[in-house]
Each structure stands twice: as structure tokens, then as C-alpha cells.
Amino acid sequence: MRLFGAVALSAVLALVTGGSALAQAKGDTAKGEALFKQRCSACHSVVAPPPPGPAPNLRGVVGRKAASTTFKYSPALAKSGLTWSAQQLDQFLATPGGVVPGTFMAISVPKAEERRDLIAYLATVK
């Protein structure tokens, strides 16, 4: 009964705070780093200073206002008013065009566990 109560409480908290229970669970940073290198690093970087590239640098992205670095973002993302919380990143990575219609980001991460791990890794890159 205690397990059910904890799961129910987690689900209620996720609904109240606007995030999924999976997005709020702690991800595996090592898996996230490997996924970043495999799937994201062709366009994105996390090094400082940021090298020129086709996509913005993601160093310090968690907690940052969207389209706030020196990069030519899509007008849609620039006008979005988003701040990249773990929950917002989770939603955006799942369906970028669904969250910000007109975004230049065309790649999604459909698996929730992979998103969780990527976000956990990105949260460590400051």
C-alpha cells in the first residue's frame, strides 16, 4: 500500500507541476553523456568557448532562457518565452515542433528514458 501511495503522490505532483513523473526521476548521467555524443554532438556542443556550429551550444542549458545565447535561433524559438527546465526540455525533446511550431530543431528523442538521461547529463554541464 505504501508503494501505491508513493506512486500516486508522484503522479499527482507531476500533474500539479506540469512535468511527467519520468522527467522528474533522476536520470543516468553517464548514459546521457553517451547519448549526447552519439545523437546530439554532430550539431550541438557543450564546450566553452562554444565553437561555431549548426546548432546552439548546450553548456548551461538547464535553467536558461530559450534563445538567449549568441546563436541565430528560429524566430519561433526566439519568441517562445520558454525557460529550459527539466520538464520543458523533456517536452521539447519529445516533440520539438509540437512545443515550438517553426523551430529549426528537427530531431526528437521519442524514448522517455533517453530524454531523462540526456537532461540529467545536460544539467551537469555548467
**How many Cβ atoms are within 10 Å of 18's Cβ, its own excluded?**
11
| Tens-digit pLDDT profile for residues 53-84 | 999 999 999 999 999 999 999 999 999 999 99
Annotated domain spans of the chain:
23-124
Contact assessment for residue 106 and residue 96, using Cβ atoms and an 8 Å cutoff:
yes
Which CATH fold topology does 23-124 show? Cytochrome Bc1 Complex; Chain D, domain 2 (1.10.760)
Q: Calculate what percentage of the chain has a pLDDT beyond 70.
A: 80
What's the chain's average pLDDT? 85
pLDDT surpasses 90 at 2:
no
**Mean pLDDT across 30-47:** 97
Q: Is 124 in a helix, a strand, or coil?
A: helix
